[in-house]
Amino acid sequence: MKCALVGQDGAVVHAERHPTGAERGPVAVVDTILDVAQGLVERARAAGRTPVACGIGVPGLVDQSAGVAVWSANLGLRQVPLRELVHARTGLPTALGHDVRLGGLAESRLGAGRGVGHVLFVAVGTGIAAAHLVGGSATAGAHGAAGELGHILVRPDGPRCGCGRPGCLEAVASASAIGRRYTALARSAAHSPGDLDVPARPGGGAAIPRTADVSLGGATFSAAEVADRAAAGEALAGQVWREAVGALADGLATAQALFDVEAMVIGGGLARAGARLFDPLRSALRERITFHREPRLVAAALGDEAGCLGAALLALDILERP
């Protein structure tokens, strides 16, 4: 959990992090959220500040207008009236939002989308999700489920997604999917060497051999390692990386057809690959765009604190527009 005291100007006054401890079950997770919120309120008062509102962001399905965390697989939350619980504990006006939409809110007002009217924020990490922001406000959809870009169909014959359907974008192009795909191909290539460049065991030094090392053992690779290996000229990594970038470009081209934004702000773990991601992604997107205008592709600026900052901005919003 990323937590902060944030000034009315969006400046972080104090930040702290706590383990979510989802394995303890949803009741304990909610207790921790309430304890941390109360702790921040007390900390602010002890420093002579006056906390005016509280903002909370959670992943999954969020009914922002009702203040209910409807469903969150990672946290085990089901129909939790989190806004009311936090309000009861802290006594402060409280807002509840969706983590990716809050990240987009912060990027569009304070980060890489600042000054841009129409922005799509796309978080590419263990999954893929997006937020569409117009004039600094995110649309949540009729059921709180807008922006699930990770679950558009891009490869009907592709790997099965966590949602149960084969071929979703996040089953092909998320950071986890890239790592999984490369690991699987490297293992099978290691067992039948000769056809492909095969990677060496990870952590073995800076040089990346271009020939087979069949002793992969149980190694699993991260997307960052795949990007490094692709940049170093390893054929298998290059293939996996190009396939993922192509699928991501398919997803973004679809999003552009739907939303016609000026800028797409790409965040999440995969964006840390920098030019290794953005250069080929920009070209692939350009190839796919016909009559739509090409959006600017920019890296997110606020890192993994974006959602936390966005929660503060949403809390300030409800003071102005209760």
Kindly state the smallest distance separating residue 153's Cβ from Zn ion, in Å.
8
User: Is the CB of 123 or the CB of 302 nearer to Zn ion?
Assistant: 123
User: Is the CB of 251 or the CB of 310 nearer to Zn ion?
Assistant: 251
User: Is the CB of 175 or the CB of 311 nearer to Zn ion?
Assistant: 175
Kindly state the smallest distance separating residue 151's Cβ from Zn ion, in Å.
4
User: Is the CB of 1 or the CB of 73 nearer to Zn ion?
Assistant: 73
Kindly state the smallest distance separating residue 32's Cβ from Zn ion, in Å.
29
Judged by CB under 5 A, the number of residues near Zn ion is: 4
Stretch that binds Zn ion, among 17-25, 79-87, 130-138, 159-167 (CB under 5 A): 159-167
Stretch that binds Zn ion, among 58-66, 108-116, 156-164, 291-299 (CB under 5 A): 156-164
Q: Which of 161, 270, 281, 316 binds Zn ion (CB under 5 A)?
A: 161
Site string for Zn ion, 162-201 (x = CB under 5 A): -x----x---------------------------------
Which residues 136-155 are close enough to bind Zn ion by CB under 5 A? 151
User: Is the CB of 92 or the CB of 152 nearer to Zn ion?
Assistant: 152
In three-state form (DSSP H/G/I as H, E/B as E, the rest C), the secondary structure along the chain is CEEEEECCCCCEEEEEECCCCHHHCHHHHHHHHHHHHHHHHHHHHHCCCCCCCEEEEECCEEECCCCEEEEECCCCEEEECHHHHHHHHHCCCEEEEEHHHHHHHHHHHHCCCCCCCEEEEEEECCCEEEEEEECCEECCCCCCCCCCHHHCECCCCCCECCCCCECEHHHHHCHHHHHHHHHHHHHHHHHCCCCCCCCCCCCCCCCCCCCCCCCCCCCCCCHHHHHHHHHCCCHHHHHHHHHHHHHHHHHHHHHHHHHCCCEEEEECHHHHHCHHHHHHHHHHHHHHCCCCCCCEEEECCCHHHHHHHHHHHHHHHHHHCC
Kindly state the smallest distance separating residue 150's Cβ from Zn ion, in Å.
6
Should residue 128 be labelled a site residue for Zn ion when binding is judged by CB under 5 A?
no
User: Is the CB of 172 or the CB of 216 nearer to Zn ion?
Assistant: 172
Residues that bind Zn ion (CB under 5 A): 151, 161, 163, 168
